[in-house]
């Protein structure tokens, strides 16, 4: 039996932030419902905070991978929380995360940044969250990652496109945390292909020597380990436009989740931090990408989601007509160096007020800095998507 989700049926922290919107948009069953059961996992149509308290035992989960609602400037349909309330709101979830994680387990949080309303400066809310998790709840920061989305549009438009005083915001922070300093992990699970120069070195050999930087490069450097160790910059485009999930939602008049991350993002961490048969939990399931990847990799999984339409849409990821799980381009992504266009001294002065005065119209190509471009090699950084 379903009941309208009023403040009497939801945790008080959530109700204080989202009411009265919950009364219009959510129907949460009075008992914990399994919306979908698969060979390895389940979608739970319930508030994850209550589910963790009532249904998950201490030290029972190997990996919590999630992308919680961000504290964005503009309100989103999926219920993002105001910046000044965010850390307090998240703490109740984090306390449960710490309880249910195994001593060898990991907590991975994909979280985007935010801008201070009305000015071109960044919020510190996600860093404050990280500090709270480590100093108050005694999580350990195993490593911070950065997810670069090569397909990200130039935003925020006011500061990037109109006033031209900031650059495109295309990177999310991904915090990898653990209960102890020694969570189980192996970077051998996520190696990238060797570069052409490394393949040449492996084939033709390398003379061990001390570099000018002081690094001693030994003959072990030419050992073929099957691939290169990836950096903590993950280049993964988010370009889903006609996937089975979207077609499934469109054919059934279901509104898709608007903040989906690509499957390669959770896959990187699920492969590196868990074994087949381990348990993965996503408390903010959304369209259940975490569950889809876990199912494919034979991990036991649970995704919690409270929004009716998102639960119905998530079922499409496990539909019998689906051919295969979503994957992304396995090619290279290159970051072209701005230095490729540098030549001479700029003939335009920077705005003395730092861009405070809004231009009457967007700058056109004709009034950009007039730099003479000579033939020179493009400097680039090459990284492999995962």
Note the pLDDT tens digit of each residue in 187-215. 999 999 888 777 877 777 766 666 677 66
Q: Which residue intervals of 179-258 are DSSP H helices?
A: 196-204, 244-251
CB 31 within 8 A of CB 291: no
Residue 276: CB partners within 8 Å, gap ≥ 6? 297, 298, 299
**Statement: residue 220 has pLDDT above 90:** no
Catalytic residue among 47, 62, 68, 283: 68
CB 268 within 8 A of CB 191: no
Candidates 47, 62, 110, 278; catalytic one? 110
> In angstroms, what CA-CA distances link 16 with 51, 75, 83?
19, 16, 14
Domain boundaries, the chain: 32-192+228-332, 194-225
Whether 249 shows a pLDDT value over 70: the answer reads: yes
What's the pLDDT score for residue 195?
A: 81
Residue 145 clears pLDDT 90, i.e. is over it: yes
Cβ(215)–Cβ(251) under 8 Å?
no
Neighbours of 154 (CB within 10 A): 13
Q: Strand runs (DSSP E) across 195-272, as ranges?
A: 209-210, 216-217, 233-235
Top-confidence residue, 21 or 332: 332
Query: String of b and e for 303-327 (b: at least 16 CB within 10 Å)?
Result: bbbbbbbbbbbbbbbbeeeeeebbe
pLDDT of residue 273: 98
Active site residue 195: no
Class of domain 32-192+228-332 (CATH, top level): alpha beta
pLDDT of residue 289: 95
* Residue that is written with structure tokens 């959770």 in the block: 266
Which position among 48, 67, 123, 178 bears the catalytic label?
A: 67
User: What tokens were used for 274?
Assistant: 């868990």
pLDDT recorded at residue 4: 32
- For the segment 141-159, the average pLDDT, to the nearest whole number, is 93
Are 295 and 268 a contacting pair, CB within 8 Å? Answer: no
The yes-or-no answer on residue 67 being catalytic is yes
110 given a catalytic annotation:
yes
Rounded CA gap, 173 and 234, in Å? Answer: 10
| Residue 317, CB-side half-sphere exposure with 13 Å CA sphere | 32
Which pLDDT tens digit goes with each residue over 250-308? 999 999 898 889 999 999 999 999 999 999 999 999 999 999 999 999 999 999 999 99
Q: Are 97 and 54 within 8 A, CB to CB?
A: no
Residue 383 phi/psi, 5° resolution?
-135, 155
pTM over 0.75: yes
Q: Please state, in angstroms and as integers, the Cα–Cα distance from residue 148 to each residue in 72, 108, 173, 262, following that order.
A: 18, 16, 9, 12
């Amino acid at each position: 039996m379903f009941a309208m989700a009023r403040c009497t049926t939801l945790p008080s922290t959530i109700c204080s932030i989202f009411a009265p919107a919950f009364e219009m948009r959510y129907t949460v069953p009075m008992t914990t419902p399994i919306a979908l059961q698969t060979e390895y996992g389940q979608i739970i149509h319930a508030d994850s905070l209550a589910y963790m308290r009532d249904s998950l035992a201490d030290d029972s989960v190997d990996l919590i991978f999630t992308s919680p609602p961000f504290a964005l400037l503009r309100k989103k349909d999926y219920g993002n929380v105001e910046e000044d309330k965010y850390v307090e709101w998240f703490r109740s979830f984090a306390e449960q995360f710490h309880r249910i994680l195994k001593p060898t387990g990991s907590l991975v949080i994909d979280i985007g940044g935010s801008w201070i309303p009305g000015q071109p400066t960044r919020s510190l809310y996600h860093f404050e969250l990280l500090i709270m998790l480590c100093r108050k709840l005694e999580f350990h920061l195993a490593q911070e990652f950065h997810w670069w989305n090569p397909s990200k549009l130039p935003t925020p438009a006011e500061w990037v496109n109109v006033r031209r005083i900031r650059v495109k915001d295309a990177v999310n922070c991904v915090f990898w945390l653990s209960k102890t300093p020694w969570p189980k992990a192996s970077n051998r699970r996520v190696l990238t292909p060797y570069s052409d120069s490394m393949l040449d070195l492996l084939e033709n050999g390398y003379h061990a020597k001390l570099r000018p930087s002081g690094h001693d490069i030994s003959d072990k450097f030419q050992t073929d380990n099957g691939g290169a160790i990836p950096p903590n910059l993950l280049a993964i485009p988010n370009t889903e436009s006609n996937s089975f999930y979207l077609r499934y939602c469109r054919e059934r008049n279901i509104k898709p989740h608007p903040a989906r991350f690509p499957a390669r993002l959770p896959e990187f961490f699920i492969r590196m931090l868990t074994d087949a048969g381990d348990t993965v939990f996503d408390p903010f399931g959304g369209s259940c990408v975490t569950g889809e990847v876990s199912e494919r990799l034979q991990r036991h999984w649970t995704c919690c989601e409270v929004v009716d339409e998102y639960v119905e849409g998530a079922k499409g990821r496990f539909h019998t007509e689906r051919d295969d799980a979503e994957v992304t381009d396995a090619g290279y992504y290159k970051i072209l160096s701005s230095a490729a266009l540098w030549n001479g001294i700029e003939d335009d002065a920077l705005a003395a007020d730092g861009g405070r005065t809004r231009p009457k119209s967007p700058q056109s190509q004709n009034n950009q800095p007039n730099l003479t471009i000579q033939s020179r090699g493009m400097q680039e950084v090459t990284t492999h998507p995962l």
